[in-house]
Amino acid sequence: MDKKIKATITGLGAYLPERILTNSDLEAMVETSNEWIVTRCGIEERRIARADEFSSTMGARAAQTAMQQAKITANEIDAIIVCSMTPDYLCPSTAALIQNELQATRACAIDIQAACSGFLYGLSIAKAWIDSTVFKNILVIATEKNSAYIDYKDRGTCILFGDGAGAAVVQKGGPGYAIDYVSIGADGSEANLIVIPASGCRMPASEETVKNGDHFLKMNGKEVFKHAVRRMEAAAKECLDKTGISQEELGWLIPHQANLRIMEAISKRFQIPWERVYRTIHKYGNTSSSTVPIALAEFDAEKAAKHNEHLLLVAFGGGLTWGASLLTKVDA
Ligand code: COA
């Protein structure tokens, strides 16, 4: 592997709302059971934001923790990339709201939308900006208030999703997690598999759309499942091929937390022992783009990785979109 100083995650943070929605709460809302949700998905509970908590406020909280860890002040941030499929508004961007909340007055601010793969897309952009010396200090924030778009009468989706935010500071050089490679991809021909129909100019909100529940997320879970493993596997393989790291050298898998069975399938394909697959799905469910940075922040807080150990991140989501990244832990 090349020895040049790399774009590196130097600080991590997560924010989870306090309110817990358990499987037994859901049993009282839709025709489902704790047993079905645990065995089919691996989820026991998820967090739900308060009415006065938004993607912007949760994202700012996660970012503050990440900046503290990176020992960087808001004034030093050059760019804020927010990944969210549940932004506060279509305009202004959630990134601009967070810029103001943090008082990061020097930073440019941009939202990107790649559904659950958003954080990997954000990392890819941050790495390119660092490598090309455009910026020095970048915040990549993934934040989702999924509960605002979930139909709590639809058992195919309401059992899966939760709210939360994760953030990373990306700089040149460590200590932290060097970003060796990021692979991202998309297949728009399958865009219909995960859609919020009345969320843009194609179907402007009206009395009719509200009556039909078109402002809620619709998902063909079975079809999504089929694509997820294949696409994440290919993206992960690209990371290994481009870096020259072998499957046997992988220390940890930190996957998108959408379904425990998808995570198991990926760990088997790469022969990563189950105890080396970092999991938060049981307690937070699927927080869309936030799952990977939340898991990475909690993993980091446990100081589980050793110097030079390799981590594989993988994610998949609406679009369809997918991504993978190979990171290497670098101690001071
Ligand atoms: N509780 C109880 N039963 C349920 C249920 C629920 N919440 N949801 C579906 N079922 C039932 C179905 O009606 C069906 O019953 P039937 O056999 O009598 O028709 C049965 O369980 C199996 O349904 P199916 O849709 O085949 O379940 P599944 O094993 O595919 O699991 C998902 C459904 C959504 C959990 C799963 O497909 C999944 O996780 N997909 C990927 C989703 C994903 O990753 N999305 C996000 C990308 S970011």
| Ligand 1 geometric centre to CA of 315 (Å) | 19
| Ligand 1 geometric centre to CA of 156 (Å) | 6
Token reading at 250: 């992988």
Strands 7-15 and 176-186: antiparallel
**Please, what are the domains in the chain?**
7-176 (3.40.47.10), 180-273+306-330 (3.40.47.10)
Token reading at 115: 């559904």
Query: Is there an atom of ligand 1 within 6 Å of 197 CB?
Result: no
> SS3 for 18-75, per residue?
CEEEEHHHHHCCCCCCHHHHHHHHCCCEEEECCCCCCHHHHHHHHHHHHHHHHCCCHH
- Supply the residues annotated as catalytic: 116, 256, 286
Q: What is the pLDDT of residues 26-66, one digit of tens each?
A: 999 999 999 999 999 999 999 999 999 999 999 999 999 99
Q: Which atom of ligand 1 is nearest to the CA of 158?
A: 7
| Ligand 1 geometric centre to CA of 242 (Å) | 36
CA 136 to chain centre: 23
To test the pocket of ligand 1, the residue of 222, 226, 286, 287 to mutate (highest count of ligand atoms within 8 Å of its CB) is 222
| Ligand 1 geometric centre to CA of 42 (Å) | 12
Do residues 292 and 119 make contact, with C-beta atoms less than 8 angstroms apart? yes
Residue 3 is predicted with a pLDDT of 64
Residue 2 is predicted with a pLDDT of 56
Distance of alpha carbon 319 from alpha carbon 115, whole angstroms: 7
To test the pocket of ligand 1, the residue of 85, 225, 232, 287 to mutate (highest count of ligand atoms within 8 Å of its CB) is 225
Parts of the chain with a pLDDT under 50: none
